[in-house]
Structures are given as C-alpha cells and as structure tokens.
Amino acid sequence: MDGRHSMTLHPNSIEARDVAYHMHSYTNLRAHQDSGPLVIERGEGAYVFDTSGKKYLEAMAGLWSTAVGFSEPRLVEAAAAQMRKLPYYHNFASRSHGPVIDLAEKLISLAPVPMSKVFFTNSGSEANDTVLKMLWYRSNAMGQPQRKKIISRLRGYHGVTIASASMTGLPNNHRSFDLPIANVLHTTCPHHYRDGRDGESEEAFATRLAADLEDLILSEGPDTIMAMIGEPVMGAGGVVVPPATYWDKVQAVLRKYDILLVADEVICGFGRTGKLFGSMTFDMKPDVMVLSKQITSTYFPMSAILINERVFEPIADESDRIGVLGHGFTAAGHPVGAAIALENLAILEERDLVGNAAEVGGYMQAELRRLADHPLVGEVRGVGLIAAVELVLDKAAKTAFDRPGQLGTQVATRLLDHGVISRAMIDALAFCPPMIVNRDDIDGMVSGLRRALDDTAAAVL
C-alpha cells in the first residue's frame, strides 16, 4: 500500500488488508483506498454487527435478499445435512438429484400463472442473460430470425453480465463498458414524480407510457420485437412503483403485437411487495419469471427461470433438431442451494412472512410518509417491505446538489452512524429490511432516518 492508506488505516488491520487485496463491486475504487471498508463480522435476525461490535439494522436485507434474516439455524442445518449427503451434482446430460426436482416442482406450484419448466442459474444476472439467449434460440426455432429485439425500461435493473447490463437502463452500468449491445431497446421509466408532466395525473401518465411503448414497437417493426422485460417494482433504479393501471395498459400493447412478457422478480419475488410475487401485486401475466435473492435468502447463490409452454415448446424442438441445448452452468441447480431454498420457502409459509411483509410493510410505508414534510424529503414511495425516500434541497424544483448522489451519500453515511444500513441510489435512500422485521424494528429505522435527515439539514441548509 502507498502512504495514503497507512495514514488512515492501521497497516495490519483487517480494513487495510481489504484495501490491499480486495476489489469491490459498485464502489469508487480510488475513494475506497482512502476510506477502507465497513467489515461486518456476524448477523443475528434483522441485525448485523461490525468488527467493533456496533449493531446495525440491516435495512437493505443485505442486497434486497435476506428474507428470513441472518443466522437462521434451519437454513444452516439444511445446508449441512445436504453437504453430508450429496455436496454437489449437476444437471447436464439428463442427470438430476432429489433437491432440484423438489424445488422445481415447488416453484411451478407457487407460480401465479401456469408455468411449464424451471431452468436454474446462479444469479439474477446470469438468469436474465440466459433469458435473452433462450428467446433468441426460440425465435430461430420458430423461423423468425428477424425477431431478436427485447424492450427494457430506463432505470430498470436486470444485472451486470454483458446482456443483462445492456437490458439494465442505468447509465453507470453502460459507461466505459461499451454497452448496451444491439437488439436491446429502452422505453420510458414509470416514475410519475420524476417523469410525469405538469398537471398530468398518474392515469394519464400510464396511458402516455403505454403509447410510448407502442410507438417504439411500431418504429422498430412489431415483427422484430420478441419480448419486454420489467420489474414489477423497479429496485436499484430507485424503488419506482408504477401507476396502478400501468401494467394493465402495457400488457394490452404487448398482447396486441404478440410480444412476450418477462417479469424480473429478482427483488420483488417471495413476498417483498406484500404478496408472494410482484406479478400478483400488479396483476401481471408473464410468460417468463426470473427469481433469485430471496429464493434462498441469499444463504447460497441461486436463481431460477420459470417459462410457460409457449416458451418451452419451441426451445425443446430446437434442442431436438440440433441434438442438444448448448447452455448451462456447472453449479446451476446445486443440491445444497436447492435444499436451502426448500427450507427457506417452508419458513416463509410457516411463519407467514408474506403476511408480515404486508402488515409491517404497511406500517413502514405509513411511518416513512410521516417524514414527507421534512425539508430534505421530496417523495416517499413503496409497497410492502420495499420503499425509497427521495432527497432534495429544493422541493418545488425537485433538485439536490449539482453532483448527483452527493446528498444521498451524505444522508446514508449519517444514517449508518445512527445504526441503520441503507443504500443511496443516487439521491434516493432505499429501505428493504428482512421480512422478519416487526414494528419496533421499523420505529428504530425511521427514528434513525429522521435524525440523519436533521443532521444533514443542519449541515447543508
């Protein structure tokens, strides 16, 4: 390490070793060399503890993902038991094992619309990357080689592989990465607060966005569009909750032009919105569903793609014509991950954590909205146990500092000092606590946020 690091970090500390050897995701790598990491040592329920013993409410459930909280003994035991029995096997060349069969059957039974098959991958990014490949494969199978385009949305988030990052509609996922690739299109973000016109109702906004979508389809050529992908509620793009009729209007356009719908349920799935799937919350009827994160509470990397008969049959025919479906991953459908997922889903059902997300989530939404009159709060939005607080310096203009993200970072840093871990998405703070939280946990979270807002207001206003 150079001299800058030794000035701020003890050279033999765990933080200094992190700076010396570890390259971080979603991090300013130069700034990290000066500041070092927050090292989390253990977790318990909805809380985690750093190496100094300080306790934090993990108000992001890690990365939107730890439904049952940290150190759930039943998941630990499920993993250990499967490790002892069959620590690894694959699903290539018609091989299989009990846990993955049980999990596939369970997921099909839980799906909100009829689904046919489950294809397993290891992350949401891999899953969405695979979806694009499979839909290209399907178009070729159907004798439609021109039908290769997929429509995503500005501010949508679908991952970081080359294909999934292309579908992601966030500039920093494209800058200097030479993305997006061809055949990936983006339509309007359904955020009324930011993108609605003066005097435009949410209903009129939804109608305009459906018209924008249809205009894009017509300009590109309907016979070139194979699918649209969307999160029921946008996550990393700022917890954007669409207008009530948005998905109804969008699906009507897709049906008109025989375009498939892919529901990216990586964040919304397994109860986050107060129903088992975000597709249920917004009455979506997807042809493909992408699941990850809360499927194992991220105790193990796992993701799953559910496809209906309409998607599966042409793919099966093409694999027969070629002789093989030439796609798969070494660890996909891992027996340990499948065992953890099955136990995790059992806990969700037994403890009615989806019901808890609806009930405590409603309380969280109401309590956060009590901050709406704070001088730094522009909008509070969310549904169930997922929310965002949009930060501004000028409420009328809806603006913060000239440098996007500066205000969000300041509030998130002060919130951390008050024992709450959030995530700044530019100038919006996200809240997505484990689905086991109770009202007392929410009270502590909102109290910490109010104090962080007050601290920041005293410094910047």
Residue 8 has pLDDT above 70, yes or no: no
Q: Within a domain: residue 11?
A: no
Q: Within a domain: residue 28?
A: no
Q: What is the CATH number of the domain that holds 414?
A: 3.90.1150.10
Which candidate, 294, 254, 287, places its Cα nearest to that of 68?
A: 294
Q: Within a domain: residue 451?
A: yes
The neighbouring-strand residues paired with 420 are: 57
pLDDT, tens digit, 9 for 90 and up, residues 129-147? 999 999 999 999 999 999 9
Based on the domain organization, do 59 and 79 belong to the same domain?
no
Q: Residue 393 in contact with residue 399, Cβ under 8 Å?
A: yes
Based on the domain organization, do 310 and 364 belong to the same domain?
no
Based on the domain organization, do 324 and 382 belong to the same domain?
no
Residue at which a domain ends, from 302, 321, 350? 350
Rounded to an integer, the average pLDDT of 246-264 is 98
Name the residue range of residue 287's domain.
74-350
Based on the domain organization, do 265 and 277 belong to the same domain?
yes
Q: How far is CA 81 from CA 74, 76, 107, 239, in A?
A: 10, 9, 22, 37
Give the pLDDT band of residue 2 (cuts 50, 70, 90).
very low
Based on the domain organization, do 339 and 376 belong to the same domain?
no
d(CA 354, CA 249) in angstroms, rounded, equals 27
Total domains in the chain come to 2
pLDDT, tens digit, 9 for 90 and up, residues 286-314? 999 999 999 999 999 999 999 999 999 99
Q: What is the CATH number of the domain that holds 220?
A: 3.40.640.10
Buried b or exposed e, range 293-312, using 16+ CB within 10 angstroms: bbbbbbbbebbbbbbbeebb
Q: Within a domain: residue 13?
A: no
Based on the domain organization, do 162 and 307 belong to the same domain?
yes
Give the pLDDT band of residue 46 (cuts 50, 70, 90).
very high
Based on the domain organization, do 155 and 103 belong to the same domain?
yes
Q: How confident is the model at residue 3, as a pLDDT?
A: 35
Percent of the chain at pLDDT exceeding 70: 98
Backbone angles phi, psi at 168, to 5 degrees: -60, 140
Residue at which a domain ends, from 323, 350, 377? 350
d(CA 456, CA 461) in angstroms, rounded, equals 8
Residue 190 has pLDDT above 70, yes or no: yes
Q: Within a domain: residue 31?
A: no
Q: 3-state SS of 353-407?
A: HHHHHHHHHHHHHHHHHCCCCCCCEEEEEEECCEEEEEECCECCCCECCCCCCHH
Based on the domain organization, do 260 and 362 belong to the same domain?
no
pLDDT, tens digit, 9 for 90 and up, residues 380-390? 999 999 999 99
Q: Within a domain: residue 285?
A: yes
Based on the domain organization, do 356 and 345 belong to the same domain?
no
Based on the domain organization, do 345 and 357 belong to the same domain?
no
> Which tokens hold the place of 124?
């949401």
Based on the domain organization, do 261 and 407 belong to the same domain?
no
d(CA 65, CA 50) in angstroms, rounded, equals 19
Q: How confident is the model at residue 366, as a pLDDT?
A: 98
Rounded to an integer, the average pLDDT of 51-74 is 98
Residue at which a domain ends, from 350, 374, 405? 350
Q: How confident is the model at residue 4, as a pLDDT?
A: 34
Q: Within a domain: residue 6?
A: no
Q: Within a domain: residue 170?
A: yes
Based on the domain organization, do 334 and 371 belong to the same domain?
no
